[in-house]
């Protein structure tokens, strides 16, 4: 998800109270796993990540979901 406030709002709506921090997708943007469910997220804010960020995040998801 992109946007700090958007990411926070989505986490609240999904009732994700805690995250396990995983490997770095891009500088300052970790791959995270919801502690209370089998959900994985890439949460980015501001200018973090490059124009291929979401493709890179998708690659992380495909590796972790197997």
Q: At a CB cut-off of 8 Å and minimum separation 6, what does 46 contact?
A: 4
Number of domains in the chain: 1
Paired tokens of 41 = 């997220």
Evaluate if residue 63 carries a pLDDT over 80.
no
Q: Residue 31: which pLDDT band, with cuts at 50, 70 and 90? A: confident
The span from the CA of 5 to the CA of 58, in Å, is 21
Evaluate if residue 24 carries a pLDDT over 80.
yes
The span from the CA of 19 to the CA of 3, in Å, is 17
| Averaged confidence pLDDT in the chain | 85
Share above pLDDT 90 across residues of the chain, in percent, rounded to a whole number: 21
Host domain of residue 23: 4-64
């Amino acid at each position: 998800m992109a946007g700090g406030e958007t990411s926070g709002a989505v986490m609240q709506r999904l009732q994700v109270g805690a995250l396990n921090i995983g490997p770095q997708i891009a500088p300052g943007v970790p791959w995270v796993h919801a502690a209370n469910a089998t959900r994985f997220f890439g949460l980015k804010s501001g200018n973090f990540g490059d124009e291929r960020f979401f493709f890179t995040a998708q690659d992380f998801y495909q590796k972790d979901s197997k």
